[in-house]
Amino acid sequence: MDIPIPKEEVEHVKSIISEAITAIKQEDTLTLKNLSNQTIHSSATFQDIGSILFAIVIYSTGKIIERKEQLGIKNWEEFKNNLTTALENAHIELSKNNYPAYLKNLKEARKDLTQVSPSLKESIQDILRKASINKASKLYEHGLSIGQAAYLLGITSWELAEYAGHDKAEPYHHSHGFTIKERAQRALKFLS
């Protein structure tokens, strides 16, 4: 599968991944938030699943770092090492133009977030859910419809509309005619 973004954007994404790895190692939450917001521009422009997934991973990581004391994560250094290794591998695969392997490593990074501690799984999933809603809101601000942004992030238009401050969500009619159940299954598959 070809990488669905232009070559110059691939170089930008690679540099953001490198910066994110450094920020995670330094526990620099502000940089992670800023990098996540930068990545959203690519996501909105190219509707690239990899950029969206990466934005969620680094935004969520920043939130976890902010709350690490409160969450009481015991294997903190192991968590950071696993996460940065997955991101380093994603960077390598992107350099090789191997988009499926790049996505696989981003999904591994997301998985590392949910496995930081079995007792915290629910808290981490809540952080990931809120990150998805936040990033969908940013996609909406960048010009995607509420329905498109919600679909790409696997959330409902209602969740996004509520977060974005609208009274009601606009309906999204996917051009492939997927049912709501099929879209939900696709979103769950993407996020797993």
Q: Which sequence spans correspond to the domains of the chain?
A: 7-144
Q: Cα–Cα distance between 59 and 35 in angstroms, integer?
A: 8
Q: What is the pLDDT of residues 64-78, one digit of tens each?
A: 898 888 888 788 899
Higher-scoring residue by pLDDT: 93, 39: 93
Q: Cα–Cα distance between 149 and 4 in angstroms, integer?
A: 18
Mean pLDDT of the chain: 78
**Cα 184 from chain centroid (whole Å):** 17
Q: CB within 8 A of 163, min separation 6: which ones?
A: 133, 134, 136, 137
Kindly state the tokens that stand for 149.
């942004």
Evaluated on CA atoms 135, 136, 137, 139, the torsion sign reads: positive
Q: Is residue 169 very low, low, confident or very high in pLDDT (cuts 50, 70, 90)? A: very low
Q: What is the pLDDT of residues 5-20, one digit of tens each?
A: 777 788 888 999 999 9
Q: Cα–Cα distance between 181 and 178 in angstroms, integer?
A: 8
SS (H, E, C) the chain: CCCCCCHHHHHHHHHHHHHHHHHHHHCCHHHHHHHHHHHHHHHHHHCCHHHHHHHHHHHHHHHHHHCHHHHCCCCHHHHHHHHHHHHHHHHHHHHCCCHHHHHHHHHHHHHHHHCCCHHHHHHHHHHHHHHHHHHHHHHHHCCCCHHHHHHHHCCCHHHHHHHHCCCCCCCCCCCCCCCHHHHHHHHHHHHC
Q: Cα–Cα distance between 35 and 72 in angstroms, integer?
A: 26
**pLDDT, average across residues 47-56:** 80
